[in-house]
Amino acid sequence: MTEHPSALPSTPADAPACACADACCGSAAAAPASGAPPAGRDESWMRAARWARALSWVSLVWMTVEGAVGIAAGVAAASIALIGWALSSAVEGLASVIVIWRFTGSRTLSETAEGRAQKAVAVSFWLLAPYVAVEAVHKLVSGQAAESSVPGIVLTALSLVLMPLLGVAKHRLGARLGSGATAGEGTQNLLCAYLAGAVLAGLAANAWLGWWWLDPLIGLAVAAVAVKEGRDAWRGEECC
């Protein structure tokens, strides 16, 4: 690879200061009368769009593996937290599919497609939040503690490393592209890492200190963050 998200050129100095906000909020950019691409959609922008699509494919593949292995490990360990975390991969994978759709074919230069993708990613946050909250409350009420799971620990540890890298890269790309959908998917990657950390913390705290209640409390906090991030994505505040 010859490009890296962190090395992408910054927004041109002569671009309007509110360009990102306008794009994120779904305001259609005024296209030239000739039908040429909107201002700023140069080759550098197109490379960034290809990066966004490629990283979404990486996320989608990982979420598929994460979901399948996580569910198997969670069932084996009778771990509600691990199963819930693995099932949340389906929602995060949906966000990846949305961004891939957004930056495929003629939709790449479409402000309408960006607006639709932005709203869809926001909805995916709201799909994730209730599930995490219900699982957390269930664990608090039942008092059920997760058992140790070596595959689960390895999987969540890998997610703690990979997901923040993807999340930060997509936030940068979202700002470069003026794409709230891309930035929102990046935030979901970060939430995946938070959830992985919660599962690990719950397993460790329960095994060493008997603090079985720590995992569901962290889960409730993550659900609250998901609601806020979904609201920000809907309003177009993710990439600004």
Quickly tell me which residue has 């100095």 as its tokens. Answer: 13
Q: Which residue has the higher pLDDT, 91 or 16?
A: 91
**pLDDT reading at 144 higher than 70:** no
- C-alpha closest to that of 84 among 183, 207, 204, 222: 222
Q: Which residue has the higher pLDDT, 230 or 193?
A: 193
- For residue range 42-64, what is the model confidence (pLDDT) as tens digits? 788 899 999 999 999 999 999 99
pLDDT of residue 169: 94
**pLDDT reading at 91 higher than 90:** no
Q: Give the chain's mean pLDDT.
A: 76
pLDDT of residue 37: 52
Sign of the torsion formed by the C-alpha atoms of 163, 166, 172 and 176 = negative
Amino acid occupying residue 55: L
Buried b / exposed e along 220-230 (16+ C-beta atoms within 10 A): bebbebbeebb
How far is residue 212's CA from residue 203's CA, in Å, rounded to a whole number?
8
Say if residues 12 and 40 touch (Cβ distance below 8 Å). yes
Say if residues 95 and 185 touch (Cβ distance below 8 Å). yes
Q: Tell me the mean pLDDT in the region 229-239.
A: 69
**pLDDT reading at 175 higher than 60:** yes
Q: Tell me the mean pLDDT in the region 180-194.
A: 87
Sign of the torsion formed by the C-alpha atoms of 207, 210, 216 and 218 = negative
- Percent of the chain at pLDDT exceeding 90: 12
**Phi, psi of 179, deg, nearest 5:** -115, 105
Amino acid occupying residue 203: L
Quickly tell me which residue has 């593949």 as its tokens. Answer: 61
pLDDT of residue 210: 74
Quickly tell me which residue has 């869809």 as its tokens. Answer: 120
- Percent of the chain at pLDDT exceeding 70: 76
How far is residue 188's CA from residue 206's CA, in Å, rounded to a whole number?
27
